[in-house]
Amino acid sequence: MTGAITGIFNILATPFDASLAVDVASLRRLVEFQLDKGVYGLTILGVLGEAAKLTVEERQLVMETVMSTVNGRVPVVVGTSHAKIETCIELSQSAFAAGASGVMIAPPRMPGASDDDIIALYSRVAEQVSGAIVVQDFPPVNDVIMSAPMLARLAETIPNARYLKLEDPPLMEKIGAIRALTDQFEIFGGLGGMFLLEELRRGASGTMTGFAFSEVLVVVYEAFKAGRMAEAEAIFDRYLPLIRYENQPIINLTIRKEMLYRRGAIANPALRPPFTPVSPGTLDEIGWVFARVGISDPAQKIVL
């Protein structure tokens, strides 16, 4: 598969059935659901996709299911991060062989790693694959801090590592710092879409997030790109309470799967352990937030 890695990419959840096995039927339904919402592409097997809780065989199953369901309609970025660099390379090669447009890689935990060590890791992967590498900068998953100067050097050094998934707050400050040093990165925000407009204003190319109402982000992005800033601001501000509520630390994935379940996108909102369950009060609040932003039927596509 080929295609531009730009715009609004949905980070796909991995549906599980009641026994916590990968629910292939729900996964296919979720792909179609997101494509119907107009996303520019899909990112699979990220943190939201609970990749760290899957076996290598299950990751392969998810990738093959998504790729066959998408069937070339949009670009797919496959998360291939792994504690073992050899496995990361094997997963990356498999992803490109299946038609992925890119692979997303965060460094493994590397206590005491220098900037040179991190660049050497990405260089090692880049030597083994020819496709695009999306560098994932998300310190909570690995305790690795990648500075703006190091990231700029990485982009200048590795020709196929020209995409950055940035989730190291303060996001806009870091985007600005990177942009001041290099124009070689296509930068994508995240953090649930909470700062989409600000990220775009600072030069981001789009966002990769698991927000359950991706059609909202698509419309905001397209209004922004068309120069209709007032429209982009009005739509974003209208749905910001929902974006904010969904992206609560610790329980954001639990809430997102519940929202996807209420939208009819997956058959079961189950997560694999470890995860933090939510209280009945939180489940009640989801409906209250829907009502506050004017969503009467979450199963319907929001037309803006």
What pLDDT is recorded for position 141?
87
CA distance linking residue 50 with residue 54, whole number of Å: 7
Provide the annotated active-site residues: 165
Write out pLDDT tens, residues 121-160. Answer: 999 999 999 999 999 999 988 999 999 999 999 999 999 9
List of residues 6+ apart from 221 with CB closer than 8 A: 7, 8, 196, 200, 206, 207, 232
pLDDT at 160: 95
Q: Is the pLDDT of residue 246 over 90?
A: yes
Does the structure show a pLDDT above 90 at 2? no
Q: Quick check: bond before 274 cis, omega within 30? A: yes
pLDDT one-digit tens code per residue, 209-236: 999 999 999 999 999 999 999 999 999 9
Kindly state the greatest CA–CA separation across the chain.
52
Mean pLDDT across the chain, nearest whole number? 96
State the amino acid at position 301 in one-letter form.
K
pLDDT at 1 over 70: no
Task: Give residue 193's Cα distance to chain centre.
Answer: 10
Q: State the CATH class of domain 7-292.
A: alpha beta
Question: Tokens in use for 274?
Answer: 């470890």
Asked if residue 35 has pLDDT above 50, the reply is: yes
Domain-wise residue ranges, the chain: 7-292
